[in-house]
Structure 1
Amino acid sequence: MTLSEETTELLNAAAQAAADALAEDLVAIDVTGVLPFSDAFLIVTADNPRHLSGVKSGIEDDVHEALGRSPRVEGDQNSEWLLLDYGDVAVHIFLREARDFYALDKLWNQAPRVNITEVSTTR
């Protein structure tokens, strides 16, 4: 399947914000047609709980500034996994141990990956 231009723009904005917040191991997955509630996943890793919170805030702030969109947030400051649900894009922010345990990358290994290699760590 192909992501819409709007979904691609949101995915890229979220990925750039995550990279700017120094998140690691960014993976974008196209789940269009597979899931009824989302078109893409962005999965990223944070080093520690404070970094997890910083990545969350960075994505929320940058996406809102760029696109005027705000997510529904699942999880809290004590979580090992936060979900920013933008509807068409679900951003999963994990601590390393939780990402390894839940293994969403492996769970969705049959779904196409979206190229986000042009996301840079500097603006």
Structure 2
Amino acid sequence: MASIESNQLLAAAAAACEDKKAEDIRILALDPAESGLTDYFLICNGTNDRQNVAITDEIEIRLKREFGVYPNSVEGRRNGEWILMDYVDFIVHVFSAEKRAFYGLERLRKTATSLSIEELNAEIKAKIAASRATKPAKKAVAKKAPVKKTSAKAIKTIKPAVKKTTKAVKKTIAKKATAKKSK
């Protein structure tokens, strides 16, 4: 099951596709029993190779800027007919219309359920609400009393007392050491 963070990444990637005018955007939630590969496929197509590259560039820039996440790998960017971006929890496929019809990933993944962007956003909100309900309430933290700074005058009066105490401790230690040696 995908985490809240990976669902937010997926939603941001889908929004980037929409912003770059990608066509036929689909999110496939893959069956975990069938595919240990990833949780989701984000599939869309552009009208030409340059638009496909622009779509993938926008996804990469947005996820890097908003979440600090880079894809594990990107394949097919040079050709532009089918660009694959691997974000581990989801994989983005940006096709040309011809290649998408030819390969038909939606047909190959019949057990996958199709999600709309609205359904994904609703799922994110539900997960966030559930995580807030299960978290224990924060305990009130007691404030610490402010630390008073010692004035220079106080330090001058303290130093001689510390020196006297130090000398007295040293004398006591020396007396004990000589007493042990004499025994």
Q: TM-score, normalised by structure 1?
A: 0.88
**RMSD between superposed Cα atoms in Å:** 1.6
TM-fit CA distance, 1:114: 2.0
Quote the Cα distance in structure 2 between the aligned partners of 1:79 and 1:55.
10
Aligned to 2:27: 28
Verify the 8 A CA contact 1:32 1:38 in the aligned structure 2.
Answer: no
Aligned to 1:78: 79
Larger radius of gyration: 2
Quote the Cα distance in structure 2 between the aligned partners of 1:10 and 1:35.
20
Alignment pair present for 1:7 and 2:6: yes
Which deviates further from its counterpart, 105-114 or 83-92?
Answer: 105-114
Distance verdict in 2 for CA 1:115–1:3, change over 3 Å: farther
Gaps of 5+ in 1: none
TM-fit CA distance, 1:70: 0.8
Identical positions, percent: 37
Verify the 8 A CA contact 2:50 2:80 in the aligned structure 1.
Answer: no
Quote the Cα distance in structure 2 between the aligned partners of 1:91 and 1:111.
15
Output aligned runs, 1:1-123, within 5 Å: 2-33=1-32, 34-71=34-71, 72-117=73-118
More helix by share: 2
Which deviates further from its counterpart, 106-115 or 57-66?
Answer: 106-115
1:38-72 per-position Cα deviation (integer Å, ceiling 9, x unaligned): 11100010110110110110111011111111111
Q: Which runs of 4+ in 1 moved over 3 A?
A: none
Q: How many residues align?
A: 118
More strand by share: 1
Q: What letter is aligned with 1:104?
A: L
SS at match of 1:100: helix
TM-fit CA distance, 1:30: 0.8
Quote the Cα distance in structure 1 between the aligned partners of 2:14 and 2:67.
13
Quote the Cα distance in structure 1 between the aligned partners of 2:22 and 2:111.
24
TM-fit CA distance, 1:118: 7.2
TM-fit CA distance, 1:4: 2.3
SS at match of 1:57: helix
Gaps of 5+ in 2: 121-183
Q: TM-score, normalised by structure 2?
A: 0.60
Q: Which has the higher contact order (CA 8 A, sep 6+)?
A: 1
Verify the 8 A CA contact 1:29 1:40 in the aligned structure 2.
Answer: yes
